[in-house]
């Protein structure tokens, strides 16, 4: 400690003397040595010495000693209590220009010092972005892509800044996406992969950067990583697989990105991943991959390609899962595939195993999400296919009663989906459904919907459309007449909604046996 005091005293007196460089370097090395021997006492002496202003002078005016001064600072800044005097001496402002250096050692120590001083300090981080640190970081990542220590420091800095909107905005004007994809491709250890994924996940919140990442081919690299780690059960590998799956989900915002992802074959990697993890039961990976698949199934052009590639059939392997989160995502993905696609609805609607499982899930009471999605998929299959075979298959699987029950849901969207599905089914083959409708008391349910003041106009309208179909059955017509629905329809003729009034009048005409106008 006595030697350290002497070094500090010397630097205080001669720190800006360019003719004493050897002695200055010796004193800076003396500080580094003292820090390795007794950190706490050294920090205490450093704080009292006022060395920070001297270090700023050396960094600005003594190129030969500046690298060593930056190294001293990076070591000092490891201690939280030492950050404040560094900030007060304006050392961050002094260090930033040094990031333009071509000396790799200078870049390394200056980068570490800035990162440590500014860690967890949002105001300082915003200041760094404002003075242009982003372009320096991207330049280092580009020019020294093979230097492991420099890339590590650079990625840590990006990781600390990437959450800032100002940083994302600045990064979107650089070629950072290209460089990060390059680093992701060459990353070999888990720590490096984790840092890159953390940066990418933050950047994927910015639309411009998201597009740049896809243009840089991030999806191909993610696909390779998933393929490479598939089958590995180590916890570290599973974390990387989960991070890759989560990133795919984040990137899939906007049809353009989704279409590009499908074109490069990401789907089969996700399906391979799902089939592997349904065996090992890693729910988080299944959940992420299913979220990605669901998003991929949104653009119409993707639905067609996914169906042609057998996604619906392969995904049903997961029907073995007993995990509600997985079941929920699976059902949502299948519903997305069936949306507007008669072929998909037909494939799903004539699969006895799927229909039986769907009907079981429709009965689930302890997971509202699974219960709701199962009912919605059942309704979707009927609505989008409109074939007699599918109606018959749903009837045989005892799914009709669940569609009837769905008409009384607390969500108007679900009520309308069920009413539309039942109207389509009864228009296709009322005879086969008649017994189920009577058993599940469909007529009485519809009457309650029409009587209830809280029922939305659209639900009332769709209920009456379904009633018109049911009047084609003698037995159901008799139930409608016995339940005195006629009186309710007459009341609805003075409803505040014009569409409800029109449909009530039309339904009354059909009920009276008159042709509708």
DSSP secondary structure, 110-158, as one string: HHHHHHHHHTT-HHHHHHHHHTTHHHHHHHHHHHTTT-HHHHHHHHHHH
DSSP secondary structure, 250-271, as one string: HH--SHHHHHHHHHTTHHHHHH
Domains of the chain, residue spans: 441-516
Checking 491-499 for CB contacts under 8 A at 24+ apart, the result is 492/450, 492/460, 492/464, 495/457, 495/460, 497/457, 497/460, 497/461, 499/457, 499/461
Q: What is the pTM of this model?
A: 0.69
Q: Which backbone phi and psi does 464 adopt, to 5 degrees?
A: -70, -35
Return the pLDDT at 254.
66
Spell out, as residue ranges, where the chain has pLDDT lower than 70: 1, 13, 15-19, 230-231, 253-255, 277-282, 515-517
Return the pLDDT at 516.
55
**Cβ atoms 291, 258 nearer than 8 A:** no
> How would CATH label the architecture of 441-516?
Alpha Horseshoe (1.25)
Give CA angle at 226 (224, 232), nearest 5°.
125
**Cβ atoms 291, 249 nearer than 8 A:** yes
Handedness of CA 135, 136, 141, 142 (dihedral sign): positive
Return the pLDDT at 231.
66
């Amino acid at each position: 400690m006595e030697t350290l005091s002497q070094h500090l005293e010397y630097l205080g007196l001669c720190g800006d003397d360019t003719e004493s460089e050897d002695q200055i370097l010796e004193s800076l090395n003396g500080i580094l040595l003292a820090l390795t021997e007794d950190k706490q006492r050294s920090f205490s002496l450093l704080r009292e010495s006022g060395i920070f202003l001297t270090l700023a002078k050396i960094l600005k005016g003594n190129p030969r000693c500046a690298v060593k001064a930056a190294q001293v600072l990076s070591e000092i800044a490891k201690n939280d209590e030492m950050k404040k005097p560094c900030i007060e001496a304006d050392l961050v402002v002094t260090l930033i220009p040094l990031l333009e250096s071509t000396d790799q050692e200078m870049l390394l120590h200056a980068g570490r010092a800035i990162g440590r001083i500014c860690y967890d300090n949002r105001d300082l981080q915003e200041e760094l972005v404002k003075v242009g640190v982003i372009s320096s970081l991207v330049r280092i990542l580009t020019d020294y892509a093979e230097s492991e220590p420099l890339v590590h420091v650079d990625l840590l800095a990006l990781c600390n800044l990437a959450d800032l909107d100002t940083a994302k905005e600045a990064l979107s004007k650089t070629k950072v996406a290209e460089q990060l994809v390059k680093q992701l491709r060459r990353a070999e250890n888990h720590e490096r992969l984790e840092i890159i994924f953390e940066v990418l996940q933050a950047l994927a919140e910015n639309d411009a950067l998201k597009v740049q990442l896809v243009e840089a081919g991030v999806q191909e690299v993610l696909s390779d990583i998933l393929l490479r780690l598939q089958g590995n059960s180590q916890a570290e590998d599973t974390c990387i697989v989960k991070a890759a799956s989560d990133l795919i989900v984040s990137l899939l915002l906007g049809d353009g990105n989704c279409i590009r992802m499908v074109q490069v074959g990401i789907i089969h990697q996700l399906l391979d991943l799902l089939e592997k993890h349904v065996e090992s039961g890693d729910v988080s990976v299944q959940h992420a991959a299913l979220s990605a698949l669901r998003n991929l199934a949104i653009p119409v052009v993707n639905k067609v390609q996914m169906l042609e590639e057998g996604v619906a059939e392969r995904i049903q392997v997961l029907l073995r899962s007993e995990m509600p989160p997985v079941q929920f995502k699976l059902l949502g993905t299948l519903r997305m595939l069936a949306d507007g696609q008669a072929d998909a609805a037909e494939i799903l609607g004539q699969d006895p195993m799927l229909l039986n499982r769907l009907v079981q899930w429709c009965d689930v009471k302890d997971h509202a999400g699974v219960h709701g999605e199962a009912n919605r998929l059942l309704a979707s299959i009927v609505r989008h296919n409109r074939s007699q075979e599918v109606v018959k298959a749903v009837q045989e699987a005892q799914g009709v009663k669940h569609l009837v029950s769905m008409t009384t849901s607390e969500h108007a969207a679900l009520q309308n989906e069920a009413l539309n599905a039942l109207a389509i089914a009864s228009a296709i083959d009322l005879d086969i459904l008649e017994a189920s409708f009577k058993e599940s008391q469909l007529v009485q349910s519809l009457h309650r919907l029409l009587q209830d003041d809280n029922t939305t106009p659209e639900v009332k309208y769709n209920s009456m459309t379904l009633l018109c179909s049911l009047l084609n059955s003698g037995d159901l017509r008799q139930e409608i007449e016995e339940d005195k629905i006629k009186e309710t329809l007459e009341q609805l003729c003075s409803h505040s909604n014009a569409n409800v009034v029109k449909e009530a009048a039309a339904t009354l005409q059909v009920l009276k046996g008159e042709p509708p106008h």
